[in-house]
Amino acid sequence: MDRSTAVDGPTGHVRGGAVRLSPLGRVGAAVLANRKAAAGALLLALFTAVALLAPLIAPYDPEASDFLPTAPPSAAHWLGTTSLGQDVLSQVIWGARPSLVIGLIAGIVATVISILVGVTAAYRGGLPDLLLSLATDVFLVLPALPLMIVIAAYLKGSGTWVLIAVIVVTGWAFGARQLRAQALSLRGREFLEAARVRGERGSYVIVCEMLPTMTSLIAANVLGAALYAVLAAAGLQFLGLGDINAISWGSMLYWAQNNEALQTGAPLWAIVPGLCIALLGAALALLNYAFDELSNPALRAARRARGRRAP
């Protein structure tokens, strides 16, 4: 049996004029070819670099409040200072870490749960499917933000892990539905029948046969869940439900809003962290969109045909 995701080899090799790339190389090439994906990947890489290098590139200690409060941008403070006398730029740089960490972890954990629920439901069918799908639909419909707010309000001040847990609990349902749909369409395919006939266990079939063919959807899901996590975390922190003493983009917005930054001459304090959240979100969204296009070629942009056109 030729597995559809067989690895060709550690590096590409030339055959008959066409270069055959390994699966990772294929993904890389596709990302680079697609402008949107390239832009998204670039942004993401930029933010990751900033987060990793924060101790090196931040001009000051983000929590140090010895500077002139509410100062406009200057050579010493490129983005000005907060009303507590802290350097905005340093805070922005250090603030990248929580956002990326939350996005990544929440995105992965939520997708893992989505896979467990969605694919199992599709594979087992019958009563397990009914119950799992019902749970999925219920969590899908329950309004996420109010639910998150209520839970987080009870757990106020309990830190980042609680925040991640709350986001995961409200965010797994969307992916589960998508993955179940795709797994269902795979269920009838022959290579699965072949595995079943060989006597393989259910978990083997799921993990080794089904999941590899769903990789692009899974990747898209991780990105989508990460996007949701970044925005949800920002929202909760903005409301003061995250850790307001930690430096993050969302908590910066909280303090900026509470100190009326827009009105009192320190607009960058509010605008820049929000811009960073927006850009990180945009990067994730672009990559997500590109992965969608990857798995469905019909969506790629078409050039207007000359002469007699279709419809």
Binding site for other proteins (CB under 8 A): 36, 134, 137-138, 140-147, 149-151, 153-156, 174, 177, 227-228, 231, 234-235, 238-241, 253, 257, 262-263, 267, 270-271, 274-275, 277-278, 281-282, 284-286, 289, 296, 298-299, 301-305, 307-311
- Give least dist CB 73 to other proteins, A: 16
- Give least dist CB 235 to other proteins, A: 6
For helices 215-238 and 267-295, the axis angle rounded to 10 degrees is 160
CB 9 within 8 A of CB 2: no
- Give least dist CB 154 to other proteins, A: 4
- Give least dist CB 273 to other proteins, A: 8
**Residue (123 or 254) nearer to other proteins, CB:** 254
Q: What is the DSSP string of 49-68?
A: HHHHTHHHH-SS-TT---SP
- Give least dist CB 199 to other proteins, A: 34
- Structure tokens, 188: 């009838």
CB 63 within 8 A of CB 73: no
- Tell me which residue has tokens 């006398």: 85
Instruction: From 45, 31, 47, select the one nearest 278 (Cα to Cα).
Output: 47
**Residue (23 or 146) nearer to other proteins, CB:** 146
**Residue (117 or 253) nearer to other proteins, CB:** 253
Q: Give the angle subtended at the CA of 209 by the CAs of 203 and 211, to the nearest 5°.
A: 85
**Residue (195 or 231) nearer to other proteins, CB:** 231
**Residue (75 or 305) nearer to other proteins, CB:** 305
**Whole-number Å distance between alpha carbons of 117 and 113:** 6
